Structure 1
């Protein structure tokens, strides 16, 4: 993660934060919601546990190093 990001439930409710730095992700999926930051934009979301203790939440892959706009992250399996 190259910056802090809001974590969301599968339904899109914001619940916490995932801090920048090294984090782990279980898988990724296209949730149909677009996240944009500057020139980066993506509809893929990575499932993880956030820094506030919420389990199985999602953060946009926009904030994960690697990958291209509107494409899944290379090497991370689909959920």
Structure 2
């Protein structure tokens, strides 16, 4: 099970905004093409993308599977830098579910990590992010 711990004032505001976006009629599963907050190319780091995320202390895992070991947590601040997206195991959280995962870049001694797309802002259950290439 994925967890999100310690949601401060900024985290709560991001969760409320993301929940409102995910629950609005234009973003439900009946509107599959609607991704209101797609990942965008990062101009400062070619080949990477900035993805708006909600929550704080979101688990980053060693593989795109919900039971894979947690190796880090996503930084607070609303964005995660990623390389691509990949299909993986089905993750669930508070009524949401996803089989798409984003892959982060390896940094120094830290390996690449994976985060469930549940925590990307916009889109719906099991919809790949419209701004990311597949790995």
TM-score by length of 1: 0.81
Q: Which of the pair has more CA radius of gyration?
A: 2
Structure with the largest fraction of strand: 1
2:80 matched residue in structure 1: 23
1:62 matched residue in structure 2: 118
Q: Is it true that 1:3 corresponds to 2:55 in the alignment? A: yes
Q: Is it true that 1:75 corresponds to 2:128 in the alignment? A: no
Matched pairs, number: 76
Unaligned runs of 5+ in 1: none
Structure with the largest fraction of helix: 2
- Give runs of ≥4 in structure 1 deviating > 6 Å: none
Q: For 1:70 and 1:43, how far apart are their aligned partners in 2? A: 6
Q: Shift of residue 39 of structure 1? A: 2.2
Q: Shift of residue 34 of structure 1? A: 1.5
Q: For 1:18 and 1:25, how far apart are their aligned partners in 2? A: 11
State the structure with bigger RCO (CA 8 A, min sep 6), 1 or 2. Answer: 1
Question: In angstroms, what is the RMSD of aligned CA positions?
Answer: 2.0
Q: For 2:87 and 2:80, how far apart are their aligned partners in 1? A: 20
TM-score by length of 2: 0.50
Q: For 1:72 and 1:78, how far apart are their aligned partners in 2? A: 9
Unaligned runs of 5+ in 2: 1-52
Q: Shift of residue 49 of structure 1? A: 4.5
Residue deviations 1:21-55 (CA, integer Å, cap 9, x gap): 12211100011x121121211011001149xx733
